Amino acid sequence: MDSFLIKGGTPLRGEVEISGSKNAALPIMAAALLTPDPCVIRRVPNLSDVHFMGSILESAGATVKFQGDTVTIEAARVKGVGDYELIRKMRGSICILGPLLGRTGKALVSLPGGCVIGARPIDLHLKGLRALGAKISIENGYVNATARKLRGAELFLGGRAGPTVLGTANVLMAAVLADGVTIIESAACEPEVIDLANFLNAMGARVSGAGSPTLTVTGVRSLHGAEHEVIPDRIEAATFAVAAAATDGDVTIRGARADHLHAVLDKLREAGVSVERSGSALKVSRPGRLKAIDITTLPYAGFPTDVQAQMMVLMALTPGISIITERIFESRFMHVSELARLGADIAIEGPSAIIKGGKALSGAPVMASDLRASAALVIAGLAARGTTEVSRVYHIDRGYENIDGKLRQLGAKIVRQEAS
């Protein structure tokens, strides 16, 4: 497995371009299963998860062609079964369930895998699809869903940790071809859901209310092909913003959507980081001392759980005591023990991490446990004295396009060591 060798202590300086959002691209690619016509999707990031999704769609009968950052999908003939081995490796693959059920009336999809960051059940997905009239059973690791005809319904998708993003996407994609009107209450409000709704509407769907807790879907008889450009990745933008602050750098982040990053930018400014907005660019620097802050992760538009680990690194460098409370995933502190190897002083108390910051970090070998933990360890290595080796970086390749190359453009001393 590849690893990163990082010589820390160099402030990041320069400009970086943000790629398209993985979390938007995956369900949009899945939505192409809803029509036999070709769909052209642009600004698709070159990531292992994206290519996994391409293979999954091909296993369901679609033709998928990648050319640069554009993917063309034609699902002229679709079968209601996805490849078990592919789907079980990536949680995002569960979003083929809704479009397969809506298009073919049946879906046989394996229970999904992904990062080990706590329980992420799909009960709300199944609850929503059952409300539309699907009969669902789970047997031998598969979700088996059938419906002679889906029908619109009023349903509630709120869960213990708030709305479900993939569950909202799945039910939304199933509902666009259902008879009648579907009203989804406690729908996820994330920008990625809005992007999916925009793509579906470009295909001829009738979806309104995206970005609010109430989605209204008026079913149509069929959808047609469409072209679409994926929104920029707000988590990648946030990661580079935190990296700039952690290394005492000065970085201009191009192609970001500041309106998708209100909670992150607010907390960075509260921590003493300068964030200047200029069109679609954000200029991030650290004009003075950092300040300890408290953060609680929440559903959008609250502080994103996907930026919790990165901000923990910044707080470990900040004098004083900061508290980060994780309200989305109960096991998303697996990076804490690895940060401790670098000298961070962090204690876990229930759902909260108490960070006694201000000590310099020093390089050491560390191991990534999930996608965002990988990004946090890279940021820590960039800020630490000496050399840090981050192993199992296949996690980071799932969600960050060419992150080591982009960091080198900013002056980072980071080298990818390929597995022998």
Strands 320-325 and 346-349: unpaired
Crossing angle of helices 165-175 and 97-104, rounded to 10°: 10
Q: What is the CA radius of gyration of the chain?
A: 21
Provide the residue count of the chain: 420
For the record, the structure tokens of 193 come out as: 């859901």
Q: Is 366 helix (H, G, I), strand (E, B) or coil?
A: strand
| Alpha-carbon span 125 to 138, nearest angstrom | 13
User: What are the distances in angstroms from CA 295 to CA 299, 331, 335, 370?
Assistant: 13, 17, 17, 21
Candidates 123, 90, 87; CA nearest to 108 is 87
- Phi and psi at residue 361, in whole multiples of 5°? -90, 150
| Alpha-carbon span 278 to 283, nearest angstrom | 8
One of 39, 95, 115, 189 is an active-site residue; which one? 115
| Alpha-carbon span 351 to 398, nearest angstrom | 26
Q: Are 305 and 188 in contact (CB under 8 A)?
A: no
Q: Are 416 and 404 in contact (CB under 8 A)?
A: yes
| Alpha-carbon span 34 to 19, nearest angstrom | 26
Q: Is 95 labeled as catalytic in the residue annotation?
A: no
Burial (CB count <10 Å: 0-12, 13-18, 19+), residue 252: buried
Crossing angle of helices 165-175 and 123-131, rounded to 10°: 20
Angle at alpha carbon of residue 117, lines to 59 and 161, rounded to 5°: 100
Candidates 394, 370, 398, 393; CA nearest to 115 is 370
For the record, the structure tokens of 290 come out as: 């950092």
Strands 227-229 and 206-208: unpaired
Q: Phi-psi bin for 139: left (phi > 0), alpha (psi -120 to 50), beta?
A: beta
Say how many C-beta atoms besides its own lie within 10 A of residue 354's C-beta. 15
Residues known to be catalytic: 115
